[in-house]
Amino acid sequence: MVDAELPRNAQGRFYHLNCGPGDLAAYILTCGDPGRARKIAHYLDNVAVRRRNREFLCITGCYHGLPLSVMATGIGPDNTAIAVVEAAQCVSNATFIRLGSCGALQPEINPGDLILTERVLRDEATTHYYAPPAYEARAHPQVLQALEEAAAELGAPYYVGLTCTTADFYSGQARQAPGFPLLEPGKVERLRRAGVLNMEMEMAAYLTLAGVSTYPLRAGGACAVLNNRITGASVFDSARLKALAEKRLIQVGLRAVEILAAEDWLRKRT
């Protein structure tokens, strides 16, 4: 069955996510890497739904009794926008919390630290189909506050500020790859001077689409720093540090969901 506007598969689910209404919880932890999604899902008390299609992976269960979904989208803002649009058809009041990885652009930020995005520089094309260039994409304040509280409570070192989302890992992030042109060699330094904390490849899609949607969506996110583009320091120098960074990221995300859920329950009661 195919709808001209919202394609569905033979099971009647939305085509890319292979999910339909009832398959996703209102709180969704997201990432690009399906491997990280499976690590997050290990924390679930049970799994009721597990769907895989192409690079997309969706797992729904409960965390400490709270319905929770984990969604992997693959790399890039284009994949992410598809996932957000289809997920919102499944649960229109969704809260998306991205748990990603990034490169830091300020020298004081260490590998393994977390960066919580307050607003995002939309250095990609996908979100410009949804909002004009002047639109300022920001994390939902409730989501950002929950992430800050979770990071502080768990003792995770973190920074809050401006993230740059790009659509390319190499020239788009000023990496010189043999055989390919680099149009702006000074991009990292330009962004550093502008106060950008980090570069990654998905956050803009979550913040922009949630911000402009007519559905009551919320979005925010945290990224674990894998390397510092200024100092050259990297978690890849230590397998222990890399594992710690990802575990820290996941635990902060899970705790933020608990904080949000408790606050949402209180708001409904008053």
Kindly list the catalytic residues. Answer: 16, 86, 175, 229
CB 216 within 8 A of CB 93: yes
**What's the burial of 127, exposed, middle or buried (CB within 10 Å: 0-12/13-18/19+)?**
buried
The two tokens of residue 160 are 């809050």
CB 13 within 8 A of CB 246: no
